[in-house]
Amino acid sequence: MSQPLLHIDDLYVHFNTSDGVVQAINGASLTLNPGEIVGLVGESGSGKSVTAMSILGLVPKPPAIYPKGRILWKGIDLLTTPDRELREIRGGEISMIFQDPMTSLNPVYTIGHQISEMIRVHSRISAKTAKLRSIEMLDLVGMPNPAQRIDDYPHQFSGGMRQRAMIAMALSCSPELLIADEPTTALDVTIQAQILEILEKSARELNVSVLLITHDLGVVAGICDRVAVMYGGRIVEEAPVDDLFERPLMPYTWGLMRSIPQMDKVSTKRLYTIPGSPPVMSRPPKGCAFAPRCEFVIDRCHTEVPQLIEYAPHRMVRCHRVSEPDFIAVLA
Amino acid sequence: MFTYTIKRLLQSLIVVWAAVTLMFALFFIIPGDPISLKSGEKSLPPGILANITAKYGLDQPTYVQYFRFWGHLFKGDLGYSYKNDKSVNTILHDGLSTSARLLFWGALLQLIIALTVGLTSAIKRGSLGDRIGTIFTVGIQGIPVFVSGLLAQYLFGVLPFQMHWDWLNFFKPWPQSWTAGVIPTDSWKGIILPALVVAVVDAAFIARMLRSSLLEVLRADYIRTAFAKGLSARRVWFHHALRNAMIPVVTVYGTSLIAIFGVAVQTEKVFSLPGMGSTIADSALSQDAPVVLGLAIVVIAFGAVVNLVVDLSYALIDPRIKIDSKAVH
Amino acid sequence: MSEFEQIPQSLSYWQDVRARFFANKISILGLVMLVLLIFIGIIGPFISGWKYDELGPDILSAPFQKGHWFGTDDLGRDLFTRVTYGIRLSLTVAIIVTIISVFVGVTLGGLAGYFGGWIDTLISRFIDTWQVIPFVLIGFAIITVFGSSFWVIVAALVFTGWYSTTRLFRASVMQVKSLEYVEAARATGATTKRIILRHIGPNAIPPIIVVLAFSVAGAILSESVYAFLGVGFREPTPSLGVMISGSRNFLTEKPFVFFIPGSVLVLLTLSIVLIGDGLRDALDPKLRGVK
Amino acid sequence: MKVLSLGKRSVAVLAAVGLAVGGTIVSAHAATAPTYIDCQLFSAGEPDFIDPALTSTLVGANLATMLFDGLTDTDASGNLYGEVASKWVTKDGAKTWAFTLKKNLKFSNGEAVLPSSFVTGWKRAFAASMASEVAYHSYFIAGMEEYNTGKGGWPSASVVADDSAMTLTIKMVNPTADWPSIVGHSVFSPIPTTMASASSKVEEDGTKLVGNGPFMLEKAITKRAGGEVVIVPNPNYGGKAPLLSRVTFKISSDVNAAYNAFASGQCDNGPIPAGRYTELLTKWGTKGVKTTLGTDYWGFNWEDPTVGGTQNKYLRSAISKAIDRTQISTVIYQGVRKPASGLLPPGLPGYKAGQGLTSSRDLNGAISDYKRWLALGNKTPAPIRLSYNDGAGWDKVASIIIANLKDVGIPAKLDPYPADGTYFSKMRSGKGQMIRAGWFADYPIADNFLFPLLHTKSIDGDNLERYSSVTFDALVDSARSTTNKSFAQSQYRRAEVQALRKDVALTQTVNRGIATVLAASTTSFPITPLGMIAFDQIVKN
């Protein structure tokens, strides 16, 4: 196997706040290969966004500190890369789109200006060429009349169109990795599917890896090759998407799946909800972060953090009870 | 944009007309006897008073005076001082040459100080510089201009002399080479301290406004986007953040430009500068209505122009403002 | 990073405001300063042993000499007594002016903001007109025409201050009016009076409290400016502006005559500005729960 | 050299207090006579006019008298002398005055000064369209009031000029024994024919202002703060030539700025800012201090039930005796204005000291007078209002008087009026109780004080007290209509005693004075009792 594109190696991110140290990430590891679309799933507060932002160095320091770990981008540790080089990677090799297209575009500049600006930062081309390239990109993401609309301001677009423009911008410098942080959360349900489709289509067409961050397993199911589930600042399970849906190995993943409404099964039962609330990361539990909410909790879970182990090829899981066959059967 | 500009221009003209009429009413209708200043310690015989009244047209009904006033105004004639028959145009010209210099440097310094302090304290948030900046900007708001003017005179004139701190003395002639022929020597000497006094109060306010506005903008999602695009911090601050942060600041700057006249009056009084402000103050005290009114027209028109420019620059800075609707305010 | 911050235990809005205000060290400093100044203003004249217009034989005597704590002015009057009266005068004038301005502002601004339409247009255009006339000119006009008695000065200060409160209250009413729950109240058929009193009023109040503080500071400043320029209170009224104006001639030889009333005026306005700053931060719902 | 170094030191300090008005120091002149730079004259803002037909202020008149010579003038010792006139006579008991003019006098443009030059000047000055504030001085001449108010034509029978005989004959309305003094006022200046139709705005182009005085204008006037007026000797002047080759008047926005310009070495003289006399006189010496023909006083409203009328005389005398004039003089004027002993100022022809009730404080007398007043059935009055026009420092004088009265037990309070116009019109209509007033002589004659200030005919005019006494009026009237100078003088003195001592219609406080700071190089700086600086007689080393 060739060198992975991105390898997050045992990453820790803490925040110094007035309430004490918030341990947002406590040893997360994740690998992305070229051309792969990987989903990173978790509740809000699980650290998925911080992980994504850390890749691009967008977490403000202070208050953030990185006590341990590396983020290797084609073998280079992004955490220690000087700002000047990091800037070239940002947008040029790794680009990112955000949750709220309403606020993620600068309201005082035209869409065209904002896309061209990105292009011209990363390649020495004329303004005119950059504009043509922008129109081309908008066309790629399915923007109608891109040549005219390029001179419009963000407030003149609908939410879906703005997110298309964001995708166009993110892809305009032919990055190798696109981080999409909840790209559809703020959009209407009808638009969500379109955007995901455009995202997948464009990524496959341009051979761009995607790290799709979402709290919605349904989104992941549609387009991802592989899924990593995050809870309490750690990756708790990682698997090819089909395997995961077929047989979750971690009680949290299991819970998540049961809470998805299923259209094909008619059920009279109430929709499942995971009891309790997410851990407070300024005072994280001593053992497994999920232990207080887990239906299958054993004493050991409260005292000892389980290790991420390879349960089967390409299947990683972090649970003390994964070695118990009965337990696995229950989850399935 | 064009129709909007025309519409706003007309609105400004109406505002100027209304404000001037208000001033006219205050000075010509209510007191009734503006000639009283002629008759000071020594009383004047009625015949003499009648001659003077007729000379200034004050024997006419008020509405005739009012229309005559506008008639003359359209011809560019602001009338004549009751005090010494001097043309108000000349008085205005004389006062304006001093005030314009003071206010130009004052407004410029104000902008420079405000931008420097506001930007650095926002960017270096929480640093020692930011804290000093905050104390400076909060503290200065409690100091009225005439107090800071006198304080400046004490600190940069009296004290350095008494302590023999020649390097601090703003009133010592400065080396010729400093001016390098750009501005006449005595303009520099005369104007730098008053201009600083003019600048500093509202500069502090604008700096605070800019700082909080910038901090709010820097938290915005599109700033994160800009960083994610691989832009340098400098470009993000100046190209993306500053322009957005300027929107509320422009209003404050406009208001402060209108208010700068009040500041100028005090500064000119404190520093004995023969500008518009001190002229209006003296003329108002002696009820020399033509001078007050003539100079007030200029001040009012200036205020209206500033308002207009502020409104138009909103539209330029922020495309979200729909300039063809009246939702500007 | 708010998603990692703890949600504070639920407090009522005003408890929360109070907690936040008292957590602000600078506003506390302002409050302490103001209380101290008011205290001196109240008891000063009783303990100084002089009257504010009592001429003494010691002219321009330095502080802490011959029974004058702050020295005397050019007529041998006790500066401490005059300064304490100055605090009383400044605050009295400023508070009266503020009450009237806020009353005018709330009435006109409320009318303009709630009813909109031609009432709003009329009031807004009037504000536009008034706004371009610099405040000193308004003061000059009113005071030179009607003289400089107490109530004329109050009127001049109201005339220079009313429009900012009006504009602010108008904006705040318009904002609250468009909020969903007011729309809802309207939809359920609540009367105009009820909507104004029960729904809009209480929500538009926080900005008024902030304006109140800044308006008091502004009125103190304006009053002193008028006095300095010779159109406000005049000798021998112990206004701080009058004292500072009279001190100009002694700046080189007896600077304390300037520095004493000057610093009292600065401390007075500064303390109120600091309190206003603290109140604004404490009342702003956007900052609620954030330390 | 000690003085000089002291001066140099204070330069920077004082320059700090207000910015010195711009301009450069004129360096040593090539001409033999020294040049002179004056910062004193126009130190309180721009002059009103320097056109003699219009100027109503001391500073304007001062410059006008340097540019124009009238028929007569008063010298620094207060003596009347002929300027253009060589002699004057009246043959009909001061009803008609005939002036004989000096020959060969010229205007600065070369035109001869003839009797008809005065007719030209007066026709212009007293025309209704000029609306001159000082035109009323001409009302002594028969038919001139009608001419000035537009009710009659030019009274050619009253002003007869005979250019060949060089005589000017003037007919008066009433016998006017003091006419030779009155005609010395600058409004009676002659003008050349070129100025005959000059409007009231002639000063906008100052070069058209052509006179016959020792100086002439060098360039157009820039009458504004920061500007200057420059006069140079008139080459055609017939009298004694000035000792200076040029005088530059700098116009300052206020006294502080003017003083700072002086202190920084830009001028040869300057004014003294109020309240700093003592400090500055020690620095610069007292050469420039001079008493002038002016008196400050407080009048009692004759119609007021508390202080007015003969029945309240003892209250008025108590107040008069209670006032500490020395305190006012030293605390407020630091000795520049000296305690006055009567209404007429020292230096005025016919002046006699001690005409008033008292010039020094008499506390016991005041207390006993007050007791006598109370014994007449009066109760302690409501605080007596001391009315004054605000903004000119009178509040301080009033404060001292209130403190003085308190020692006697008489309550009093301040009663300021905002604008001068309002104040005087209110006082004229009888709204005051104790009325702040002052008078500066138009011409050096006793009548100029006594008639306008206290005569019944001056009620509604400058008789702010609305004082009316048959005895007083009879004394003044008899003095006015006689040509017997010593009789007139004794009548005026009796009238002054009647009003001040017997009726106590007013109580004088201080006599006015002028304080000028002078550079060490100025060795002679003559000021006339009328407050005019004789720039043509200044001696500078």
| Tens of pLDDT, residues A175-218 | 888 888 888 777 777 888 888 888 888 888 888 888 888 888 87
pLDDT value for C282: 79
Tokens of D78: 């207060």
Mutate which: B39, B43, B280, B282, vs D, most D CBs within 10 A: B43
CB atoms within 10 A of CB B218: 19
| Residue A75: burial class (beta carbons within 10 Å; 0-12, 13-18, 19+) | exposed
Q: Does the pLDDT at position D24 exceed 50?
A: no
A133 or D499: which leads in pLDDT: D499
For residue C61, what pLDDT is reported? 75
User: With an 8 Å Cβ cutoff, are B41 and D428 in contact?
Assistant: no
Instruction: Please indicate, yes or no, if residue B308 is contained in any of the structural domains.
Output: no
Contact check, Cβ <8 Å, B43/D428: yes
Among residues A234, A137, B40, A183, the alpha carbon closest in space to that of D417 is found at: B40
Any idea which of A105-109, C3-7, D143-147, D509-513 has the lowest mean pLDDT? Answer: C3-7
In the predicted structure, residue B161 carries a pLDDT above the cut 50: yes
In a domain, B150, yes or no: yes
Q: Cα(A307)–Cα(A289) distance, rounded to whole angstroms? A: 12
DSSP element (H, E) containing C211: helix C201-229
Interface contact flag, D399 C55, Cβ < 8 Å:
yes
Strand positions, DSSP E, A125-277: 177-181, 209-214, 226-231, 234-240
pLDDT of residue A271: 66
Average pLDDT along chain C: 79
User: Is residue B282's pLDDT more than 60?
Assistant: yes
Confidence of residue D18 (pLDDT cuts 50, 70, 90): very low
Any bridge partners for residue D112, and if so which? D106
Q: Which residue has the higher pLDDT, B62 or D303?
A: D303
To the nearest whole number, what is the mean pLDDT of chain B? 78
CB contact under 8 A, C5 and A63: no
* pLDDT of amino acid C291: 31
> If pLDDT is split at 50, 70 and 90, which confidence band does D9 have?
very low
**Which pLDDT score, from 0 to 100, does residue D159 have?**
94
Secondary structure (DSSP) of D121-150: HHHHHT-GGG--TTGGGGGGBTTHHHHHTT
In a domain, B227, yes or no: yes
Asked if the ipTM is above 0.90, the reply is no
* CA gap D169, D464 in Å, rounded: 35
**Better-scored residue on pLDDT, A159 or C204:** A159
Record: contact D275-C249, CB cut-off 8 A: yes
Which chains have at least 3 CB atom pairs separated by less than 8 Å from chain C?
Answer: A, B, D
Whether C8 has a pLDDT exceeding 70, the answer reads no
Chain C residues touching residue A280 (CB < 8 angstroms)? 6
Q: D350: phi > 0 → left, psi -120 to 50 → alpha, else beta; which?
A: left
Q: Is residue B130 domain-resident?
A: yes
B33: chain D residues, CB-CB within 8 Å: 421, 425
Q: C267-277: per-residue pLDDT in tens? A: 999 899 888 88
Least confident of A297-306, C84-93, D126-135, D277-286: D277-286
Parent domain of B263 = 90-285
pLDDT in tens, D417-435: 866 667 888 888 888 999 9
Dihedral Cα C142, C145, C148, C150, nearest 10 deg: -60
Tell me, what's the pLDDT at B171?
54
pLDDT at D96 over 90: yes
CB D43 within 8 A of CB D252: yes
Q: Residue D517 is inside which H or E element, if any?
A: strand D516-518
SS3 state at A5: coil
- Identify each DSSP E strand in D63-207 by its residue range: 72-74, 80-82, 85-90, 96-101, 159-162, 167-171
Q: Looking at residue D162, what is its pLDDT?
A: 94
Q: Are residues B271 and D19, on separate chains, in Cβ contact within 8 Å?
A: yes
> Residue D113: pLDDT above 90?
yes
Average pLDDT rounded to a whole number, residues C137-148 = 75
Tell me: pLDDT of D2 over 70.
no
Per-residue pLDDT of D139-197, as tens digits, reads: 999 999 999 999 999 999 999 999 999 999 999 998 888 899 999 999 999 999 999 98
pLDDT > 80? residue D289: no
- Percent of chain B at pLDDT exceeding 70: 84
Q: Residues of D at the C interface (Cβ-Cβ below 8 Å)?
A: 13-14, 16-17, 256, 273-276, 279, 331, 390-391, 395-396, 399-400, 402-403, 414, 416-419, 422
| Residue C74, token pair as written in the block | 């050019």
The radius of gyration computed from the CA coordinates of chain C, to the nearest angstrom, equals 23
User: What is the per-residue pLDDT for D376?
Assistant: 92
User: Which DSSP symbol is given to A321?
Assistant: G
- Is B110 within the bounds of a domain? yes
Average pLDDT over every residue of C7-15 = 56
Closest CA of chain B from D239, distance in Å: 31
User: What confidence score (pLDDT) does residue D436 get?
Assistant: 93
Instruction: Look at B229 and A169 and tell me if their CB atoms are within 8 Å.
Output: yes
Phi, psi of D307 (to 5 degrees): -105, -15
pLDDT-derived band at B189 (thresholds 50, 70, 90) equals low
pLDDT value of position B178: 33
- Per-residue confidence at C202, pLDDT binned at 50, 70, 90? low
Q: Is the preceding omega at residue A62 within 30 degrees of 0, hence cis?
A: yes
The model's pLDDT over A52-71, given as tens digits with 9 standing for 90+, comes to: 888 888 887 777 888 788 88
SS3 state at B255: helix
Per-residue confidence (pLDDT) for residue D121, from 0 to 100: 95
pLDDT above 80: residue D472: yes
Q: Report the chain C residue with the minimal C-alpha distance to residue B159.
A: C252
What CATH number is associated with residue B214? Answer: 1.10.3720.10
Nearest chain B Cα distance for residue C178, angstroms: 15
Asked if pLDDT for residue B231 goes beyond 70, the answer is yes
Which residues 223-242 of chain A have a CB within 8 Å of chain B?
none
- Average of pLDDT values for D355-371? 92
User: Per mean pLDDT, which of A104-118, B141-155, D467-481 is the most reliable?
Assistant: D467-481
Percent of chain A at pLDDT exceeding 90 = 0
* Chains D and A lie in contact, requiring 3 or more CB pairs less than 8 Å apart: no
Mean pLDDT of chain D: 85
- The Cα D467–Cα D455 span in angstroms is 7
CA-nearest of D26, D59, D5, D13 to D540 is D26
Pick from C129, C135, C142: which is nearest to B262 by CB? C135
Instruction: Report the C-alpha gap between D222 and D455 in whole angstroms.
Output: 42
Rounded-to-integer distance, Cα C234 and Cα D388, Å: 12
Q: Does the structure show a pLDDT above 70 at A304? A: yes
A282-289: long-range contacts, CB 8 A cutoff, minimum separation 24: A282/A17, A282/A19, A282/A20, A282/A21, A282/A22, A282/A23, A282/C4, A282/C6, A283/A20, A284/A23, A284/A26, A284/A232, A284/A233, A285/A232, A288/A318, A288/A319, A288/A320, A289/A231, A289/A232, A289/A233, A289/A234
Nearest to A155 among B221, B317, B320 (CB): B320
Tell me if B127 is assigned to some domain: yes
User: For residue B180, what pLDDT is reported?
Assistant: 29
Q: Could you please report the per-residue DSSP string of A126-147?
A: -HHHHHHHHHHHHHHTT-SSHH
Domain count, chain B: 1
- Does residue B9 sit within a domain? no
Within 8 A of D452 by CB-CB distance, chain B residues are 42
* Chain C interface mutation, best of A14, A16, A17, highest count of C Cβ atoms under 10 Å: A17
Identify whether B54 is part of a domain: no
pLDDT at C169 over 70: yes
Q: How confident is the model at residue C148 (pLDDT cuts 50, 70, 90)?
A: confident
Closest CB to C144 among B14, B22, B287: B287
